[in-house]
Structure 1
Amino acid sequence: MQTTQLPTDAALSGNVLFYSKPEPLSVEAHGKLGVNALDNPYAFVGQTNMVPLTVTEFAPAALNYPVVFLGDARAPVAIMGLNQNTNLFVEANGAYRADAYLPAFVRRYPFVFATQEDQGRMVLCIDREAPMVSEGGETALFADGKPTPFTENAMKFCTDFEQERRRTESFVKLLQEHDLLTVREFNYTPRNADGSAGQPQKVAEFYGVSEEKLNALSADTFKTLRDNGALGQIYAHLMSLQNWDRLIVAAMDRAQRELPAANA
């Protein structure tokens, strides 16, 4: 896995992760649309092995995923699979693992805020090609020409998400100001048939907090990070790196489950 630049929500071009056809929401264009409740609605997450996180999600996400930083922006993400197009937490039928934390980036779908470049303002959009969106859907987006409570709640969720996204950018900037981020690797050592250690394999390269640099901070800086809550998020990130081993186990388990189907 190479360090890559993640897409952002900064355009209406359709290149936002998960969104095929985001359109500015309006009663004129979407007055007849509604959202249907699907039993297993997360198939759209199954084709990616990473999902962006906000900083306040580090602690719950760290229970399941490695939380790492990627790209020039050092964007924090939850790693959900070892291969680019494989998510080990989503089944083929769209079911998400019940014991796993579901990031806000996923929960806001099919809605998203995007920048309307000609006016420089944020507008609420909906993915017109989302599988849960249809004309006459069971939960209407508009009623009597006005947004329904469902749509208003979606707008509030996206507004809160945007605030958390900006807070996350400030957190990453703080890490960079103290030069805490460095290139890190996860290596896996398989076992040979006789039980001996095999040749180590490099599984991933990413940006992570350097524990050596963290421990070298001055007492005053360390206290500041503790008091503003950043230290707790840093430790959540560091603890989450133990989950690389869990991903290896999950990948092996899925391979074993899929083997009988491949041989059938």
Structure 2
Amino acid sequence: MASAPQQGLPLFYNQIEPLSSQVHGDYRARTFDKASFLVDQHAVPVTVEEFPMVQRFMPIVFSVGDEPVPLALMGLNEGVNVFFDSEGTLTEPNFYVPAYVRRYPYLLARLRPDSDELSLCFDPTSNVIGAFEDGEPLFDNGQPSELTKNILQFNESFEQAGARTGAFMKDLKDLGLLIDGEVSIQPDGAEQPFIYRGFLMVDEAKLNELRGDQLRKITQNGMLPLIYAHLFSLALMRDIFGRQMRLGKVPQPQPQLV
């Protein structure tokens, strides 16, 4: 499953530095068409708002652990991404890139544990932000540029979506709908099936057994279509597997952690 890098930093981030007009007043931001940080990444966090779009292209599963999060699978095995090539170039002309990917190298972070205030930060190792001659300025006469304002707005929206996603996950757990997932894929000519485990999914049997008041609640609060988006997306497991086979990135048949 997707896991955070060392030192407790979020996935993809090597360092975090608060963006400051005093320190970074002459910094510019470059656009980039290659996401090298995605090359070996097979699972990316997504928010509930993204389920309708994500389920068209990738399976949506949930991570294991005490605080599971929704994940979009770009591959079924560690180190395999079937949508980005070895240089980090997107190979699909029609594809939905999750917001978690699009926000990099920026994020909102709590700089002091005794404060709830979030500050706009960035990863200085990304080679996207710096004192470059090219790119768009992040500050204009000591004030945030239009670009920086848009970046801040995007990250604020992402945090709000993250809070709604957390509430959705809590409701799934409280209703007891999450179970250990397992997918078995038997390719033509293979002696043994490929079995994928190590993720959580919604149990359709338990979903169908919900009491009337519980079903009414998840219908009224919008959870039900999100649950079905997740369940429908699981059919794409075999599509991702087929892509891996065509790329020659399928290991020997044995239990794998998604």
TM-score, reference length from structure 2: 0.89
Report what 2:112 is aligned to.
Answer: 117
Shift of 1:14: 6.6
* Alpha carbons of structure 1 residues 190 and 211: separation in structure 2 relative to 1, 3 Å: same
**CA-atom RMSD in angstroms:** 1.9
* Superposition misfits of 4+ residues, deviation over 4 angstroms: none
Please name the residue that 2:122 is paired with. Answer: 126
What displacement does 1:207 show?
A: 0.5
Q: Answer whether contact 1:141 1:150 (CA < 8 A) is retained.
A: yes
Cα distance, 1:6 vs. partner? 3.6
Q: Which residue of 2 aligns with 1:31?
A: 25
| TM-score, scaled relative to structure 1 | 0.87
Deviations 1:212-258 (A, max 9, x none): 000001122212211111000000000010010011111112229xx
Do residues 41 (structure 1) and 37 (structure 2) align? no
Instruction: Specify the alignment match of 2:54 in structure 1.
Output: 61
Partner of 2:139: 142
State yes or no: 1:51 paired with 2:44: yes
Deviates most, 175-184 or 79-88: 79-88
**Unpaired runs of 5+ in structure 2?**
250-258
Structure 1 residue 5: Cα displacement:
6.9
1:94 to partner: Cα distance: 2.3
Q: Match of 1:20, SS?
A: coil
Aligned to 2:81: 87
Q: Do the aligned partners of 1:25 and 1:126 also contact (CA within 8 Å) in 2?
A: yes
Aligned to 2:197, the other structure's residue is in SS state strand
What is the identity, as a one-letter code, of the residue corresponding to 1:132? V
CA 5–251 in structure 1, closer or farther in 2 if over 3 Å, else same: closer
Matched position secondary structure for 2:40: coil
1:106 matched residue in structure 2? 101
Aligned residue type for 1:75: V
Report how far residue 188 of structure 1 moved: 1.5
- For the residues of structure 2 that align with 1:174 and 1:203, how far apart are their CA atoms? 26
Partner of 1:18: 12
Residue segments in structure 1 that go unaligned for 5+ positions in a row: 257-264
* Alignment deviations for residues 30-77 of structure 1 (CA, whole Å, 9 cap, x no partner): 112111122x23222112101000011111101111100003211111
Distance 2:42 2:2 in 1: 14
